[in-house]
Structure 1
């Protein structure tokens, strides 16, 4: 695990440096094709700004600061984020956390129980970039293998990879109506596709420029 992965202040690094770090991990350590990795990272840019400490509703410059259940804007501790509980008014009012803004209770809990290099980090996972990338890769392999198959196609196009991650992995509220995903052809879904594709293209450009 690199020292950079443990950096609690990724928000102080430029977006391109954050993008490059995750791209290199996905390509060099997890064997994702470059375009597939870029499609994934483009979604991480949209979700969290590629900041592992980011909680939902926070600003990029203060990623662990957001409203609590009493409507007050506060700096949350990693432990409070992990133990978020609406009934007991613990932690952030909104559930999203980390690179992919894990929100659903089972996926969110999985981040904090994920075993990485033989260790379960618990609340420390909030600060660990490599642990979150590994959890992301593990989720794709174990629970989203269809998405992973698309991303790992050698000839996958960046936009197709980006769309697949958005539609079948991230599934943001903007593409849901009445508890179900809108069809891909729906203008509201197409709008989000078009918002995220340039971010994936940026991830591809950042990686290629660093390797040129």
Structure 2
């Protein structure tokens, strides 16, 4: 069953659970929006007129068998506007095998992933590892959708659609909460819910393989090692849950318990005290050689995710527990507890762009998602721990993602602000960011970032205002009153961080 209040949220959640990273999910969704508006029974407008049908009547006729030309009529249909005869025939066969309507959203998403896995492996690889929305969007546009218009303008337009989804649902926002930052409780519950969804997966029927596949899809791999289906996979399971939740910035990924603990320590998220009373979403590590006397400081053998705590009893969901995902009950401060990974829920700033592989700690920075900063460097990178960068120009930029500032080489993802002089679109060094905002005074001219929300006006600011010079009318802390004219016409209030002095 799809999770979400509307198609947008359902599609985001589905694609994330399928192993796409945030950039890949957003880039694919931007293309699907351009094709169909995210409407699964959408019929290409031109053919609605030619065939004299509506989305609903066409879908009903195909489902009932009254219309026999679905595969050959060349009418674009569905989320991806499937058009070619062979692909439409396969979509119809798949729907009939699933006993679902041709316009069923979940069926189409399943078919979409089937196509990517079987016929577009290179595109799928990009969607799982992309370092930007644009990279993911271009892969879908040029290698999967392949519309007639593949111009630079078309590429930029689709990437812009994708960027809106990224800004809304990634960077610490909860899909299903309208883009509002998730609370600590919501983040903990998300981890628990994902862990619960895997209960019953086991080696004997191969259903555990999707957990291994999800872990291996997340790049860069911890220590460069791809987990095999025959390997022990408790830490892999715990990591895969974090990957699916988009929380690898606060929950490190690893396939070995000992290294996993080291990474939690690097993040300042390790609880050594065995007597600690955990909360749902905490990670519990075990040492099967624990004597039960004093604090256990031995080597960790196993890990699970705390589902709930009642009185002195802890319920844990574990991968590779008797070769499956199942629950274990253990006492608070019980024997075998090595310690806890305690993610910093509630303070999460962004979804993860990689794993916490050994890397030189970053210096400087301190900015957060949404900040407008001055980028002073000359290189940006495709990943937070990439070693090879590409040249770009310095200038004003917006922070769109933060990934493990204490351990990543390039912990901040920046996107250039229009008119700010920069061409940055990627991960950058903390030392290359200046966060000091220029002092503003009444009468100053400023430009406003497109992400800004304007308060206190009944007249809507037109789109041209975001590229025009505005005037500072009044200052109250971090809230600035600006107007389109020096006389004060169409005045509104904007947070200071969205304004750039010109």
TM-score between the two structures when normalised by the length of structure 1: 0.70
Task: Work out whether residues 28 and 162 of structure 2, in 8 Å CA contact, stay in contact via their aligned partners in 1.
Answer: yes
**Aligned residues between the structures:** 170
More helix by share: 1
Corresponding residue number in structure 1 for 2:166: 204
Task: Work out whether residues 43 and 162 of structure 1, in 8 Å CA contact, stay in contact via their aligned partners in 2.
Answer: yes
Corresponding residue number in structure 2 for 1:25: 14
Offset at residue 84 of structure 1 (A)? 5.2
Q: Deviations over 1:44-69 (max 9, x none)?
A: 010000010101017xxxxxx92244
Task: Work out whether residues 74 and 85 of structure 2, in 8 Å CA contact, stay in contact via their aligned partners in 1.
Answer: no
Corresponding residue number in structure 1 for 2:98: 120
Task: Give the 3-state SS of the residue equivalent to 2:83 in structure 1.
Answer: coil
Offset at residue 77 of structure 1 (A)? 3.3
Task: Give the 3-state SS of the residue equivalent to 2:41 in structure 1.
Answer: coil
Task: Work out whether residues 39 and 158 of structure 1, in 8 Å CA contact, stay in contact via their aligned partners in 2.
Answer: yes
Change beyond 3 A, Cα 1:27–1:79: same
Change beyond 3 A, Cα 1:93–1:133: same
Corresponding residue number in structure 2 for 1:132: 108
CA distance in 2, matches of 1:57, 1:173: 16
Task: Give the 3-state SS of the residue equivalent to 1:66 in structure 2.
Answer: helix
Aligned: 1:145 with 2:121 = yes
Task: Work out whether residues 38 and 158 of structure 1, in 8 Å CA contact, stay in contact via their aligned partners in 2.
Answer: yes
Corresponding residue number in structure 1 for 2:153: 191
CA distance in 1, matches of 2:164, 2:2: 24
Corresponding residue number in structure 2 for 1:77: 58
From 87, 90, 94, the counterpart of 1:110: 90
Aligned: 1:51 with 2:13 = no
CA distance in 1, matches of 2:41, 2:95: 18
Higher relative contact order (CA 8 A, sep 6+): 1
Q: Deviations over 1:109-155 (max 9, x none)?
A: 11111269xx4236x121x11111111111000001111111111x5
Aligned Cα root-mean-square deviation (Å) = 2.9
CA distance in 2, matches of 1:142, 1:93: 25
CA distance in 1, matches of 2:162, 2:94: 27
CA distance in 2, matches of 1:26, 1:148: 11
Aligned: 1:163 with 2:138 = yes
CA distance in 2, matches of 1:148, 1:121: 26
From 27, 38, 49, the counterpart of 1:67: 49
In the TM superposition, structure 1's runs of 4+ consecutive aligned residues that sit over 4 Å from their partners are: 81-84, 90-94
